[in-house]
Amino acid sequence: MNSPLRLFSSELTCPTSESMQYTNVNFLLSRPPSRVSCLIKKGDMRVPNRDGRNTLVCCQLMHSHKDESYERKKRLQVPAQKADFVRTLLIDNYDSYTYNIYQELSIINGVPPVVIQNDDWTWEELCHYLYDENAFDNIVISPGPGSPACPQDIGICLQLLLKCWDIPILGVCLGHQALGYVHGAQIVHASEPVHGRLSEVEHNGCQLFRDIPSGRNYGFKVVRYHSLVIDSESLPEELIPIAWTSSTSTLPFIGSKDSGKSNTHEAQTDQSIFIDSFLAEVGNGSSNHCDYGKTSARVLMGIRHSTRPHYGVQFHPESVATCYGSQIFKNFREITDDYWLRFRSSYKEKLAHSDVSNAKRLYREVCRSISAENNAVDQLKKVVHANRHLEYNKAEMKHLEMFNMVNTHHATTGYKCLKLKWRKFGRLAGQVGGAKSIFCGLFGHEAENTFWLDSSSTEKGRARFSFMGGKGGLLWKQLTFRLSNQSDGSSKGSGYLSMQDSQGSAETIFLEEGFLDFLNKELQSYRYDKNEYEGLPFDFHGGYVGYIGYDLKVECGVTSNHHKSKTPDACFFFADNLVAIDHKNDDVYILAIHEESSSITQWLDDTEEKLLSLNGSVRMALERQNSCPSTFSTCKVGFAAEKSREQYIEDVKKCLNYIKDGESYELCLTTQIRKPIEELNSLGLYLHLRERNPAPYAAWLNFSKEDLCICCSSPERFLQLDRSNILEAKPIKGTIARGATKEEDKQLKLKLQFSEKDQAENLMIVDLLRNDLGRVCDPGSVHVPHLMDVESYATVHTMVSTIRGKKQSDVSAVDCVKAAFPGGSMTGAPKLRSMELLDSLESCSRGIYSGCIGFFSYNQTFDLNIVIRTVIIHEGEASIGAGGAIVALSNPEDEYEEMVLKTKAPARAVMHFE
């Protein structure tokens, strides 16, 4: 297998066409069902992937080793020079930061890497691509949960590091530990877990750290996510230490507020200038761990092999807060280029001393040796776990074609041509009493089957538009989806969808591929004229409004759910009539969509008349009706917690143990509180909640058929896609109560801002969301314009970050949601492993809580929140979910108090209105 005759890609041509160069394959991670087009010589075939579905493997180019030998020899005679691109195989150890590396390498290498998970390919298949096909120039092994000593955690990576001595390899975190472990070093617990925290690093100046400063106060600060380390005392002679922490202290992230582009390394300001003034203001100690961490000894941060081009770094160069991370990846490309240039020169020198026939014979012997190792490979048994489609970079490669896999699905009902009509009423909102008055006047008499996406907190530009509506016209319908029985773990998101139209006709169908697949097909079935909404300042012009429950994670990569939700797993209205309010300009819009064959203006006329006739007496009567508690019982039963204080604290301790063992960096543990209710003015409850706790992503949903009302005062955006194809996430991590006085409030806000624990929580989720957006965004477009801003609300201060990226043109709106759902702020990282652990700890389904509420417009824009600070009223019971992120710095008692704090505002509202 270890052939000395591995040639650089630019030296190869396809014998079927001298103008078509033999190049690598670039798989981009999407979702099942999968179709993979790859550059292999194993004819077209259907093969099963790991989850049992068939994968179609298409042979794009065919070539023969015998015919290639002459072409290779001929191309070896050109002067040695570096290639325009480097082809990387990126091994994903089921991590949540792999696509941050992907984004970096896509720009630095000149072509996106191929991403496979560590158990997608067999060893024989891997050898085929590395040696028979010469498809890759180097390998990067990603971070991941667990330990390199566990085969399930590390997969194929140990064999790669042991046997691929002639291919440049860079291991990151878990990959670094694997490099040490495979050569005999011991993997041990660190003196303390370090996740989302920074350390200064010094190094020995080797090529991997070229042009990077070294030592304390020189600016080389790196982000660490690890609980295990290589025991430096156990390093074998062949492994050379090249980097280590420069002190025993970790550092907080207190940097530039404008973090610039993704993985900004040189823009960080010196953190030390902030700390003294902060400590002077807030004093010593806090429940939020303002004292910065210390470890007992310096930690090994980098190694290299003495004779092989293999390197490892314990820290995360791809993190947004790591300085000089891009430079490390650039240096690894240089190492790769230099390695193959040296190999090429060596091969030419050997070839000069032998004739062509000997060269051909040597080459054929090598090929036979490789074929012997691959003789069991007649199909790709496990090509890729998730759907991967082919994207070739024409600008860099010049000879590859785009293979567009998206938009191949069509709704079973065929295309629908939609027409939009709308009217604007300038400066009307204030004149008729604002959003509350408009909703109550138009939809509040019964409030059944109504929605209100309510930007009730618009200060500081947090939100600008609100949307509301009720049971509409001919296109209106309600979708209710329930997952199949999950007890056997085999349903993979299938379930039953009930559909009811405005006339009351209903049907139920079984969705084998799940709800999100159905929604994707529906949205792609609509055809429309963009000119019809050019004058609208917002992105919702009609379409689906509702929620996606947390348990739909089984449609986004999770194997199964441990618990069954009492509420439907997804509920949506198709809103063909709606009202929009522009809070910035005080304008009101009414919109109606209809099919091309019809023309309906009656709703627009009626709604205009009602809007203009809203007056003070009507408004006050409606608001009075919806502001009074429905009963005045003196014997109110309080909320009962799903878990006691002792049980919750015990669960936090279990989370800390998982983190200590390297199973997760952060676990977002949650629980529920519940109370039975006999009668409740649900709309009055929501109006009370929005007044006491206004939020930019609040929502009211009423699904009367399901006996379900949702009163949401969420301050957190999950994901938005606008008409310019910009994706935005705004995760919240870090919460503290408001102070009783202005001075105390200021101190508490500062305490949150400078808390290392809360900064670590936030940074981990920012890097996770960068990864999720990186799956579906153009390379190099993912960036963090706002990192760790503190926002203040009625009862709490929160730490908020903003991540943006440019959606790939061949990716659908639903693809974007599937790449990021559930929101990372509600799971932790790495996401898949964390969700598995949380399912085992939590005693019931989260249901709607932790999911998302919002809209999918018919033109494939969307805006979705994270369902937190929310009261769910369903079948005679009110429930509230709450929790918090558990990290290595967490204190169990403090975590319990934070969870309780988050329930107070919605629980008080329920008690007031019961």
The one-letter code for the residue type at 367 is C
Q: What does the alpha-carbon distance between residue 613 and residue 616 come to, in Å, rounded to a whole number?
A: 10
The count of other CB atoms within 10 Å of the CB of residue 501 is 14
Alpha carbon of 893 to those of 288, 503, 648, 649: distances in Å? 12, 54, 9, 6
Where helices occur in 191-324 by DSSP H, the ranges are: 272-282
Alpha-carbon distance of 807 to 742, in angstroms, equals 43
Strand 310-313 and strand 697-703: the pairing is unpaired
Rounded CA-CA distance 79/71 in Å is: 15
Report the C-alpha gap between 721 and 807 in whole angstroms: 8
The angle formed by the CA atoms of residues 674, 675 and 681, to the nearest 5 degrees, is: 115
> Can you say how many angstroms the Cα of residue 428 is from the centroid of all Cα atoms in its chain?
39
| Nearest of 226, 375, 237, 216 to residue 300 by alpha carbon | 226
CA–centroid distance for 282 within its chain:
35
User: Which among 318, 391, 791, 898 is annotated as catalytic?
Assistant: 318
Residues near 888 by beta carbon (within 8 Å), at least 6 away in sequence: 192, 193, 194, 195, 227, 656, 659, 660, 760
Report d(CA 764, CA 768) in Å as an integer: 6
- Residues with Cβ within 8 Å of residue 760, at least 6 apart in sequence: 195, 196, 197, 887, 888, 889
Residue 783: Cβ-neighbour burial (10 angstroms; 0-12, 13-18, 19+) = buried
Task: Reply yes or no on whether 150 is catalytic.
Answer: no
Taking the C-alpha atoms of residue 464 and residue 454, their distance in angstroms, rounded to an integer, is 10
**Is 877 assigned a catalytic role?**
no
Cα–Cα distances in angstroms (integers) from residue 623 to residues 432, 444, 556, 644, 688, in the given order: 13, 9, 42, 38, 11
Tokens of 266: 């040189």
Identified catalytic residue from 14, 38, 157, 173: 173
Instruction: Tell whether omega for the bond before 33 is within 30 degrees of 0, i.e. cis.
Output: yes
Between 434-443 and 602-613, two packed helices, what is the crossing angle to 10 degrees?
130
Number of Cβ atoms within 10 Å of the Cβ of 360:
14
324 close to 791: Cβ distance less than 8 angstroms: no
Task: Count the neighbouring beta carbons within 10 Å of the beta carbon of residue 45.
Answer: 15
What's the one-letter identity of residue 876?
G
User: What is the C-alpha to C-alpha distance for residues 109 and 141, in angstroms, rounded to an integer?
Assistant: 16
CA 140 centroid distance within chain = 21
Q: What values do phi and psi take at 218, rounded to 5? A: -105, 0
Q: What angle do CA 529, 531, 535 make, to 5 degrees?
A: 135
DSSP class of residue 766 equals: H
- Asked if residues 203 and 324 have their Cβ atoms less than 8 Å apart, the reply is no
CA distance linking residue 327 with residue 391, whole number of Å: 26
Residue labelled with tokens 């010196």: 270
Three-class SS state of 4: coil
How far apart (Å, rounded) are the C-alpha atoms in residues 751 and 290? Answer: 7
| Radius of gyration of the chain from its Cα atoms, rounded to whole angstroms | 29
- In this structure, the chain runs to a length of 914
Helix axes 831-841, 645-660, angle to 10 degrees: 150
User: Which residue among 289, 316, 562, 583 is the active-site one?
Assistant: 316
Assess contact for 892 and 657: CB atoms under 8 A. no
Active-site residue flag, 556: no
Which sequence positions are flagged as catalytic? 173, 316, 318
